[in-house]
Amino acid sequence: MRRADEFTIATTPIASIDLMENAARAFVKSFVKDEFDTTKKIAIFCGKGNNGGDGLAIAHILIAKGYENIKVYIINFTKKQSDDFAINLQRITETQCDRFEINQVSDVKHIETDIIIDAILGSGLNKPLEGAYQDLAQLINGLNKKVYAVDVPTGFFAEGELPENYNGVKAFKAICFQRPKINFFFPESAHATEKFEVVEIGLDEDFIQNEASDFCLVEKRDIEQILKPRKLFTHKGTYGHALIVAGQPNTMGAALLSVSACLHTGAGLTTACIPQSGLTALNTSMPEVMALSRDEYTRIENPAKYQAIAIGPGLGVSTENEKLLESLIASEQPLVIDADALNILAERQDLMSKLTENTILTPHIKEFDRLFGEHKTWWHRVQTARQEAQKLKTIIVLKNQFTLICLPNGKVHINPTGNPAMAQGGMGDVLTGIIVGFIAQKYTPDEAVMMACFIHGQAGDFLAKRNYVVTAASVAKRISKEIKKIMDSIDK
């Protein structure tokens, strides 16, 4: 982002001070949506770098908008100041804004305010907070006010491993510039901010798109480019045959959820390989689905006849299932491996090197650590996922609030859809069903995974607008409508 900043300044007729003004305006636009009461007391804490420069620009824009009680506090812990900070300090001096210098932390104790805007340190943070900065952050947290952070909360590293005990400012919302910071996507960021919003500040978009970055956010337009319409004269054979090996007598639900998701994703034919005891449930709830009884078939005859095979939801860990997984891996079909099949793999590390190229592994955090070892931080976990995806030539779908899709080429696609209403058992089984449903329809494995994660989350987001909790079965049933919604938006 810093390079995009420099590029934009160098190649467009925009001065860095104007870019700072753009950033401040974008911050204010978002801020006033939440905080429209112009009589509230607002304290803006400004460091002396560009983050603080933003804070000063925000102050004069808010004053111009009629906010009556703005006070600016300059954090004077260092002599060094940035050029744009100095320009904005001069500008604010020419207004009626109340301005105070904080030379020591104790000066903050007497501040009375309703809202705090944190512009002390931003993306220029280059070491963990200590000394006066750390004490100041603790003091601000102790005031228990609603804190809006400019770009990032003070003390929060935009990327890289986050320190175990976060000691920075705890924000209610971070309003960050142009692109989300990678670390916002990891659960540890919840210590630093309750939420974040990204606002555009006019950086050169073509430059950002072309910058080599290993991380990218999946967007609706990516899905629009991949999705193919169902054409005239096509038939069930066109849309492939998916096999889902899942369920045991007490976890038949996992199999049914996965199969239902596959059906609603549009596979031409779906076969469920489940124990005999589940057949009645399957036939009653989904007569469209065919069955292979697993009591009879401990091996899958002719796996090549399926265009896509998933194994794992509710499968159970047993010697028979281990053999079944081993035989499917030996068939050299690319598989979708989930849940108990991942747990079997964790016990049989020798099978890992035998996985066919483009096999998809879909672990949640615990399954991931069972497979690849304990990790203390998400940053570290994601580095491992990237390395393993490259080494094994597999796709690793590391499931989370923001699911991270690690591809064999080292790229990580971050899925932005989904919400906590989806945090309920069975949701991952549905994701597996969607992935296998798309692969059956001849989408490439990385396309299938990207579409599946995005649409799974989008279905959950739609349902969460009207429900406190969203069940896995309701997400599975919603998939076809969400695909249609995207299809219709392409047609327009």
Ligand X SMILES: NC(=O)C1=CN([C@@H]2O[C@H](COP(=O)(O)OP(=O)(O)OC[C@H]3O[C@@H](n4cnc5c(N)ncnc54)[C@H](OP(=O)(O)O)[C@@H]3O)[C@@H](O)[C@H]2O)[C@@H](O)CC1
Ligand Y SMILES: Nc1ncnc2c1ncn2[C@@H]1O[C@H](COP(=O)(O)OP(=O)(O)O)[C@@H](O)[C@H]1O
CA distance 60 to 5: 23
402 is in an annotated binding site: yes
Q: Which does 492 bind (CB under 5 to 8 A by kind): ligand X, ligand Y, none?
A: none
Q: Are 218 and 415 in contact (CB under 8 A)?
A: yes
Q: Which is nearer to ligand X, 7 or 100 (CB)?
A: 7
Q: Least distance (Å) from ligand Y to the CB of residue 491?
A: 29
Q: Is 74 in the site for ligand X (CB under 6 A)?
A: no
Q: Which is nearer to ligand Y, 142 or 420 (CB)?
A: 420
403 is in an annotated binding site: yes
For 238-304, the three-class secondary structure string (H helix, E strand, C coil) is HHCEEEEECCCHHHHHHHHHHHHHHHHHCCCEEEEEECHHHHHHHHHHCCCCEEEECCCCCCCCCHH
Could you identify the residue written with the tokens 């938006």?
489
Q: Which stretch binds ligand Y (CB under 6 A): 228-236, 376-384, 399-407, 438-446?
A: 399-407
Q: Which stretch binds ligand X (CB under 6 A): 118-126, 396-404, 447-455, 468-476?
A: 118-126
457 is in an annotated binding site: no
Q: Is 82 in the site for ligand X (CB under 6 A)?
A: yes
Residue in 193, 307, 403, 458 binding ligand Y, rule: CB under 6 A: 403
428 is in an annotated binding site: yes
Q: Which does 133 bind (CB under 5 to 8 A by kind): ligand Y, ligand X, none?
A: ligand X
Q: Which residue is nearest to ligand Y (CB)?
A: 428
Q: Which does 127 bind (CB under 5 to 8 A by kind): ligand X, ligand Y, none?
A: ligand X
Q: Is 399 in the site for ligand Y (CB under 6 A)?
A: yes
473: which strand partners? none
Contact positions with ligand Y (CB under 6 A) in 332-351: 339
Please report the sign of the dihedral spanned by the C-alpha atoms of residue 359, residue 401, residue 5, residue 168: negative
Q: Least distance (Å) from ligand X to the CB of residue 145?
A: 20
Pick the closest to residue 358 from 335, 337, 376, 377 (CA basis).
335
364 is in an annotated binding site: yes
Terminal C-alpha separation, the chain = 33
Q: Which is nearer to ligand X, 129 or 406 (CB)?
A: 129
Q: Which does 177 bind (CB under 5 to 8 A by kind): ligand X, ligand Y, none?
A: ligand X
Q: Which is nearer to ligand X, 131 or 373 (CB)?
A: 131
Q: Which is nearer to ligand Y, 154 or 403 (CB)?
A: 403
CA distance 119 to 446: 40
Q: Contact letters (x/-) for ligand X, 125-154, by CB under 6 A? A: xxx-x---x----------------xx---
CA distance 318 to 316: 6
Q: Which stretch binds ligand X (CB under 6 A): 17-25, 87-95, 370-378, 440-448?
A: 17-25
CA distance 75 to 46: 6
Helix pair 472-491, 252-265: axis angle to 10 deg: 10
Q: Are 125 and 157 in contact (CB under 8 A)?
A: yes
Q: How far is CA 84 from the centre of its chain?
A: 33
Q: Contact letters (x/-) for ligand Y, 408-427, by CB under 6 A? A: ----------xxx-xx-xxx
Q: Which is nearer to ligand X, 47 or 460 (CB)?
A: 47
Contact positions with ligand Y (CB under 6 A) in 427-486: 427-429, 431
Known binding-site residue numbers: 254, 314, 364, 399-403, 428-429
Q: Which residues bind ligand Y (CB under 6 A)?
A: 339, 364, 399-401, 403, 418-420, 422-423, 425-429, 431
Residue list, annotated binding site for AMP: 399-403, 428
Please report, as ranges, the residues that interact with ligand X according to CB under 6 A.
Answer: 1-2, 5, 19-20, 23, 47, 49-54, 80, 82, 121-127, 129, 133, 150-151, 177-178, 201, 203
